[in-house]
Structure 1
Amino acid sequence: MRIFARRVIAEGREQASVSLTIEDGRFTEVRESSEPTGADVTLNDGILIPGLIDLQINGYHGTDFAHADDADWHRIARRLPETGVTAFAAAFVTAPVPTLAEALRRCGQAMNASSGTTRARLLGAHLEGPFLSPAHPGAHDAGFFCDPEPGHIRALLDAAPPGTLAVITLAPERPHALAAIETLASAGVLVSIGHTAATAEETRAAVDAGARMVTHLYNAQRPFHHRDPGVIGQALVDARISAGLVLDGHHISSQAAAMAFGMARERLVLITDAVAAAGMAPGRYRLGDRSIHTETGRPPTLANGAFAGSTLRMDHALANAVQLGLPLLDAVAAATSRPAELLARPDLGRIKVGAHADLVWLNDGLETRATWIGGEPAFAIPGIKDH
Structure 2
Amino acid sequence: MTRLVVHGARKVDAEGLVDDFWLVADGAHITATGTGTGWRQAADGADDGADGASDYRANADPVGSHVIDAHGQWLTPGFIDLHCHGGGGHAYDDGTDELRAALATHRAHGTTRSLVSHVAAPLASLRASLSLVAELTATDPLVLGSHLEGPFLALERRGAHDARFLLEPGPEAVEELIAAARGTLRTATIAPELPNALEAIGVLTEAGAVVGVGHTAADYAQASRAFAVGARLLTHAFNAMPGIHHRAPGPVIAAIENRDVTLELILDGLHVHPSVAALLFREVPGRVALVTDAMAAAGATDGDYRLGGLNVTVHDGLAVLSGTDTIAGSTLTQDAALGNAVTLAGVDPVAAVTALTRTPARVLGEEHRLGLLRAGYVADAVLLDHEWHAHTVVADGSVL
Normalized against structure 2, the TM-score is what?
0.89
- More divergent stretch after superposition (35-44 vs 194-203): 35-44
Which residue identity lines up with residue 155 of structure 1 in the other structure?
E
Counterpart code for 2:251: V
2:93 to 66, 69, 73: 66
Any gaps of 5 or more consecutive residues in structure 2? 41-60
Percentage of matched positions with identical amino acids: 33
SS in 1 for 2:279: helix
Mapped partners of 2:262, 2:73: distance in 1: 29
Q: Which has the larger radius of gyration?
A: 2
1:131 aligns with 2:134: no
CA deviation vs aligned residue, 1:324-376 (integer Å, no higher than 9, x gap): 12111110000011101111112112211221100000111111021111111
CA distance in 2, matches of 1:241, 1:206: 11
The 3-state SS of whatever aligns with 1:265 is coil
User: Are 1:104 and 2:130 counterparts?
Assistant: yes
2:282 to 233, 257, 262: 262
Matches within 5 A, 1:330-369: 330-346=351-367, 347-369=369-391
Measure, in 2, the Cα distance between the counterparts of 1:297 and 1:73.
21
Of 322-331 and 234-243, deviating more is: 234-243
CA distance in 1, matches of 2:218, 2:32: 47
Deviation at residue 11 of structure 1 after TM alignment: 5.9
String of CA shifts for 1:145-172, please: whole Å, max 9, x gaps.
Answer: 111111111101111122x211111101
What 5-or-longer segments of structure 1 have no aligned partner? Answer: 116-120, 379-387
**What CA deviation, in whole Å up to 9, does each residue of 1:13-58 have, x standing for no partner?**
1112223121121011122334653562221221111011111110
Task: After TM superposition, list the pairs within 5 Å mapping 1:266-285 onto structure 2.
Answer: 266-285=286-305
Counterpart position of 1:376: 398
**Contact 1:269/1:335 (CA < 8 Å) preserved in 2?**
yes
How far apart, in 1, do the equivalents of 2:86 and 2:103 lie? 10
**Aligned counterparts of 1:11 and 1:19: Cα–Cα separation in 2:** 16
Task: Give the match for residue 383 of structure 1.
Answer: none
Q: Secondary structure of the residue that 2:9 maps to in structure 1?
A: strand
Between the aligned partners of 1:57 and 1:10, the Cα distance in structure 2 is 22
Tell me the distance in 1 between the aligned counterparts of 2:129 and 2:317. Answer: 31
RMSD: 1.6
Give the corresponding residue for 1:195.
215
SS at match of 1:258: helix
Say whether residues 1:241 and 2:261 are aligned partners: yes
Corresponding residue number in structure 1 for 2:190: 170
Shifted more, 136-145 versus 286-295: the winner is 136-145
Q: Aligned partners of 1:260, 1:48: CA distance in 2, in Å?
A: 25
2:114 corresponds to which residue?
A: 88
Could you tell me which of 73, 83, 93 is aligned with 1:46? 73
Secondary structure of residue in 1 paired with 2:172: helix
1:3-18 correspondence to structure 2 within 5 Å: 3-10=6-13, 12-18=15-21
Count of residues in Structure 1 that have an aligned counterpart in Structure 2: 371
> Residues of 2 paired with 1:79 and 1:205: CA distance?
38
AA at the equivalent of 1:44: H
Amino acid at match of 1:49: T
Structure 2 equivalent of residue 381 of structure 1: none
Moved over 6 A (4+): none
Residue 206 of structure 2 is aligned to residue 186 of structure 1: yes
> What is the rounded CA distance, in whole Å, between the counterparts of 2:218 and 2:165 in structure 1?
19
* C-alpha distance in structure 1 between counterparts of 2:9 and 2:275, whole Å: 34
SS at match of 2:127: helix
State whether structure 2 residue 354 is matched by structure 1 residue 308: no
- The residue that corresponds to 1:28 in the other structure is 31
Q: Distance in 2 between matches of 1:152 and 1:357?
A: 38
Report the Cα offset of residue 65 of structure 1. Answer: 1.4
**Contact residue 10 and residue 352 of structure 1 kept, 8 A:** no
Change (3 A) 1:233 1:302: farther
- Aligned residue type for 2:126: L
Residues in 2 aligned to 1:36 and 1:181: alpha-carbon distance in whole angstroms: 48
2:253 is the alignment partner of 1:253? no
In structure 2, the residue corresponding to 1:308 is in which secondary structure? coil
Is 2:112–2:395's contact at 8 Å kept on the other side of the alignment? yes
- How far off its partner does 1:77 sit? 2.7
Following superposition, the deviation at residue 312 of structure 1 comes to 0.6
- Pick the aligned partner of 1:152 from 173, 176, 181: 173
